[in-house]
Every structure is written in structure tokens, then in C-alpha cells.
Amino acid sequence: MASAAPAKKYRFTRQDFQSLVTKPLHFDMVFDITESKVKVTLQTTLRHDGAQPLSELKLNSKELEILSVERFDAFSPLGAQNDFVAHVQSFAEPRALQFDVDTDDHFLVVKFSKPVQSGEEFVIRTVSVATPTENILEGLYFDYTPEGAPKTIITQCQQHGFQRIVPCIDTMDAKAYYTTTIVAGTRYTNI
């Protein structure tokens, strides 16, 4: 009788993921929060390290309403300085990009009219709407809310939860710096 393969101790390990050929470097996020929806403007700086030019980028995107996708044609590269404020302030000349939403496999497929070259840094801006849930404890969801208070919104961004908040590369090795702005009504006193 053949011996069975040993059972995995953990659901995911580093060996389960291929190296990223396009890596996020910085996320500049603005969350506009209401009691029913959260509109997120996300400016993502990425670097393409693949050998071949990149003509489309697949971002994980689960149950998001995608309002727009743009690419900035002018910006100061982030480079090694990590001066995030100057980098974001330099964004200029956004251009609308073609995109498809794959609701079956949960991807936002961004199409580049001019392919991104190997070693090139680029910035895309997505505007999307997330709807917090009552029963799925990942992404944005509603938690216990004291009487008279606005609905309490909680985030859970462990593996595969971030794609319920913004379109992104949602793998364990897609690490980046974040700059976050939260806009909400004055009833929200604990942010």
C-alpha cells in the first residue's frame, strides 16, 4: 500500500506563492465613509520587474463596484527615497484606462494602451465602492453598534480580505507602504 502524502500543517506557506513580477510599492488611499457604502480612491505605485512588457494587469477585486481606472502619465518616481508626500503630490495627467471586471474569478483586468516595460515604475488610480456586509467577516463589515451611534465598520484584511476593500494584488508577498486618509461624518467619533 502506498503511503499518503503528509498533511499540510498550514493552509498557505511561502512556497505556495510565485514571485511577483509586478510589485506594489505604495498605496495612497482615501476612504469616504457613509453608513451604507465606502468609496475608496486608491493610487497605487507599482514596479514591473517581469522580463516581458506588461500589457494588462490583473488585480484581485471581490464584490467591488469599479467607477474608474486611470494611469498617471507624469509623476516623480518613488525610487529608494520613499518620500511619499512628494511622490503623491507629483501625480499629474491622469488618463482613463480600459478595464474589464471578471466577477466569476474576482479580478479587475486593467489594460494598458502602451505596455509597461521591465524595471518601470507606474501609478494607477482606481475609484471603487465597497459595501460592508453583515455576515462576511472579511474586507469591510458591520460590527456591534451602540444605540444612537452610526454603524460600526470594521476591517479584516488578512489573506484575501483586502480585495473586498480595494482592487489590489492580494497575496502574502504584495507588501507596500500605505498612506491613508479617512473622510466621514461628524457622528463618527472613533476612527
Q: Residue 127: which CATH number?
A: 2.60.40.1730
**Residue 4: inside a domain:** no
For residues 152 and 14, which has the higher predicted lDDT (pLDDT)?
Answer: 152
pLDDT at position 1: 56
Phi, psi of 22 (to 5 degrees): -125, 120
Q: Where are the beta strands (DSSP E) in 75-190?
A: 92-96, 98-102, 107-116, 121-130, 139-143, 152-156, 177-184
Count of the separate structural domains present in the chain = 1
**Residue 168: inside a domain:** no
Residues 100-137: tens digit of each pLDDT: 999 999 999 999 999 999 999 999 999 999 988 877 77
pTM of the model: 0.85
pLDDT average, residue stretch 166-170? 92
* CB distance 94 to 43 below 8 Å: no
Residues 37-85: tens digit of each pLDDT: 999 999 999 999 999 999 999 999 999 999 999 999 999 998 788 889 9
**Residue 43: inside a domain:** yes
Phi, psi of 88 (to 5 degrees): -65, -40
**Residue 160: inside a domain:** no
Q: To 10 degrees, the CA torsion angle through 81, 30, 190, 175?
A: -50
Q: Which domain holds residue 109?
A: 22-131+173-182
For residues 13 and 99, which has the higher predicted lDDT (pLDDT)?
Answer: 99
Lowest mean pLDDT segment, chosen from 19-28, 105-114, 169-178? 169-178
